Chain A
Amino acid sequence: MTAKLTSTPTGAAAAPPRPGPDPKRPGEALFRGLATGAGILILVILALVAGFLLIQGSPALFADPAKLASQGYGEFVSWVLPYVWGTVWAALLALLLAVPIAIGIALFISHYAPRRLAQPLGYLIDLLAAVPSVVFGLWGSLVLAPAMLPLFTTLNTHLGFIPLFAGQVSGTGRTILTAAIVLATMVLPIITSLCREVFLQAPRLHEEAALALGATRWEMVKMAVLPFARPGIIAAVMLGLGRALGETMAVTMLLSGSRNLTFELLTSQNPNTIAAVIAQNFPEAFGLKTNQLIAAGLVLFLITLAVNSVARWIVSRRAQYSGAN
């Protein structure tokens, strides 16, 4: 007994544990390897996609303008520019509409609704996520566009001096504003779902402390929930932005797209989006035209890269809260 008592402290002092993977615990190394491998696999997949876009798109990017004019769709930059504008403009409008409403709904479900109703209500909003994009295209052109037409006509008649509402109003209502509303509806459940999960995880202690100190419910949310949830909200908005930038089917069916680079929201001449242009022209394209379309896809890829860089830079200026650290 005494021998054991005296030997343990000396044993501990004599052989400190070595750093690095413990050979008696292979599970740790294996799991860590799997996790790292998965991360690297994603980078590989993305590199493959980027490589595909580059290889298939480069014939159009490096062809001379005369060849592009006769065999393709025309000189690349001037051809793709209105579509770049259309993609960014539609996504921006959609997010402007969707993000405040999504955060409001998520707050409602997590903090304002009666507890019994909260889960069914969340389920109800998730119903929107279940609707396929084809249906949104159909609903947009069959129901929303005709319904928005009186509003468009009113806006054009009374507020036509504002450049946004100027121009000849479309006779069918299939404008970029309608498309933005449909995109917002499609993006809403994504942002709401993630925000809701994040708001639900806000530390109860902080919330209770704020309420105990006499804060109103809104002040409690402002102080304890929103700062905590900021990275999650940003992640949700990034997911929504990605969907809005890349949405193909609904925009193809709904938007009356053209090559006009314009701010006007109510006319027939709306800047088309890159995804819609690819979807519309790909079936009939061949040879250099196909390459040019894929090069446009590469441009969209780069746009997403640029937008994400800007967003990251804005977020990184303030420290992130993470429960894991």
Chain B
Amino acid sequence: MTALSHAITQDSLTSGRLPKFATPVTAVAAAVVGFALAVLLAGGNLGTAVLIAYVIFLLSMEIAARVVEGPRQAADRRARHLIVGAFLLALLPLGSVVLEVLSKGMGRFDLGFFSQSMRNVVGEGGGAVHAIYGTLYVTGLATLISVPIGLLTAIYLAEYGVRNRLSKAITFFVDVMTGVPSIVAGLFAYALMSLIFGAGSKSGFSGSIALSVLMIPVVVRSSEELLRLVPNELREAAYALGVPKWLTIVKVVLPTAVSGLVSGVILAIARVIGETAPLLIAAGYTTSLNNNPFAGPMMTLPVFVFDCYAHPGTDVQAYLDRAWTGALTLIVIVMLLNLIGRLIARRFAPKTR
């Protein structure tokens, strides 16, 4: 007993560990050395400086941890630094893109942009209301088509047809569908509508079909994975109480997975809402507002942005301003959808943790 209490002394609990200030101090030191080296070797390039500093930091922490703490702890620290580094690295392009869009897009982010179309507007002025409504109609219809089909298929794959031949075929071909180039989806939708309704039918609905071809695989794959992750115990408990299989799925499995499912749906919407090529071919081009998704070409935001950028008139700046504001609007729409999605998920998920 006394031997044990002697062993668990203050020293043995804190010895063999790096002090708490080790990480920040090493980081600062590495930054200084890195910047100095960058100035000497690469003319003060910021990117090079950060890279050298990070490498020095990793190396010195690795050596210090190995010497003081041991290989397992060193591996743990290394993993932590790499993971945090990965996150910070991802913030770079994110920050750059968002800053670019914000700084260039705020110029026309005014009431006129959201209440006017481009009918009879040349050069300055005008707005994107026709494109915004077009995007909402087209994406909304696409979601209405894709989510039921995708979710039901995921339910089949995860619950009913596990490991049978049809499931294997569906999973395989859904993966193949993710590789369909977006422009081919547009061509397909245009050809389908031309077959049924005659040559040259461009409509919002045609665009929805093209987007559905792109959305369904994402919904299926992400939903299937999340449904598989619902613990079996929950299902077994429901079956034991005499609940039929379909009711178990609807009332137990789906609510448990709802936050992930909603995330998957939002991901799919974000994936297709910015697609230009298929909508240009299937939904067409117009400068006027069209409230009927089943007749006549319909303008959408990504096509609007591309068109303003690719075909400016002589007053180039006005078109570019509208293009950037259109891009900003798209991002805002998706972020709003994201928020709504998370609220829905929180509302319908079972209260577990």
Contacts and interface: CB of A to CB of B under 8 A. Distances in A.
Note whether A and B contact each other (Cβ less than 8 A): yes
Interface of A: 25, 27-28, 30-32, 34-43, 45-46, 48-49, 52-53, 56, 100-101, 103-105, 107-109, 112-113, 119, 121, 123-136, 138-139, 142-144, 147, 150-151, 154, 181, 185, 188-190, 192-194, 197-198, 200-201, 203, 216-219, 221, 231-232, 235, 238-239, 241-243, 245-249, 252, 274-275, 278-279, 282, 294, 297, 300-301, 303-305, 307-309, 311-312, 322-325
Given A46-B176, A52-B191, A203-B231, A132 B305 contact: yes
Given A143-B96, A245-B179, A282-B183, A232 B225 contact: yes
Interface stretch (B24-32, B70-78, B286-294): B70-78
Contacts of B132: none
Contacts of A294: 184, 187
Given A134-B306, A304-B179, 16 more contacts: A31-B246, A36-B161, A38-B150, A41-B149, A46-B177, A52-B188, A53-B184, A128-B97, A139-B97, A147-B47, A197-B263, A198-B226, A200-B260, A239-B178, A243-B271, A323-B228
B84 to A, nearest CB: 6
7 contacts: A104-B86, A105-B90, A108-B86, A133-B276, A190-B267, A197-B263, A197-B264
Contacts of B76: 216-219
Contacts of A46: 173, 176-177
A238 B274 contact: no
Given A135-B97, A218-B79, A300 B247 contact: no
A231 B83 contact: no
A148 to B, nearest CB: 9
Given A112-B84, A134-B302, A197-B260, A248 B225 contact: no
B181 A36 contact: no
A114 B89 CA distance: 19
B222 interface: yes
B232 interface: yes
A112 B93 contact: no
Contacts of B183: 248, 275, 278-279, 282, 297
Contacts of B222: 194, 197, 235, 239
B94 interface: yes
B213 A201 contact: no
B152 interface: yes
B158 A324 contact: yes
A297 to B, nearest CB: 4
Contacts of B244: 25, 27-28
Nearest to B42: A154
Contacts of B101: 131, 135
A163 B113 CA distance: 50
A52 B191 CA distance: 8
Interface stretch (B2-10, B56-64, B331-339): B331-339
B287 to A, nearest CB: 18
A101 B89 CA distance: 8
Interface stretch (B121-129, B164-172, B197-205): B164-172
A130 B330 contact: yes
B232 to A, nearest CB: 5
B237 to A, nearest CB: 13
B148 A38 contact: yes
Given A104-B82, A108-B87, A135-B101, A28 B246 contact: yes
Interface of B: 42, 45, 47, 72-73, 75-76, 78-80, 82-87, 89-91, 93-94, 96-98, 100-101, 148-150, 152-153, 155-162, 166-167, 169-170, 172-185, 187-188, 191-192, 213, 216-218, 220-222, 224-232, 235, 244-247, 249-250, 259-260, 263-264, 266-267, 270-271, 273-277, 281, 301-302, 305-306, 309, 327, 330-331, 333-335, 338, 342
A168 B158 CA distance: 52
A134 B170 contact: no
A249 B86 CA distance: 27
Given A129-B267, A134-B302, A323-B231, A246 B182 contact: yes
B327 A135 contact: yes
A105 B87 contact: yes
A131 B331 contact: yes
A280 to B, nearest CB: 10
Given A125-B94, A135-B97, A312-B172, A197 B226 contact: yes
A278 B184 contact: yes
Contacts of B226: 197-198, 201
B178 A45 contact: no
Contact of A324 (B162, B263, B277): B162
Contacts of A274: 181
B282 to A, nearest CB: 13
Contact of A101 (B90, B150, B218): B90
Contact of A130 (B85, B187, B213, B338): B338
A39 B267 contact: no
Contact of B160 (A36, A132, A198): A36
Given A130-B338, A194-B222, A32 B97 contact: no
B225 A194 contact: yes
A139 B100 contact: yes
Contact of B338 (A34, A56, A126): A126
Contact of A304 (B79, B97, B178, B218): B178
B260 A138 contact: no
A21 to B, nearest CB: 11
Nearest to A139: B97
Residue of A31, A121, A219 most packed against chain B (CB within 10 A) = A31
B86 A49 contact: no
Contact of B276 (A131, A192, A197, A249): A249
A130 B178 contact: no
B267 A194 contact: yes
A248 B277 CA distance: 7
Given A132-B330, A325-B232, A150 B306 contact: no
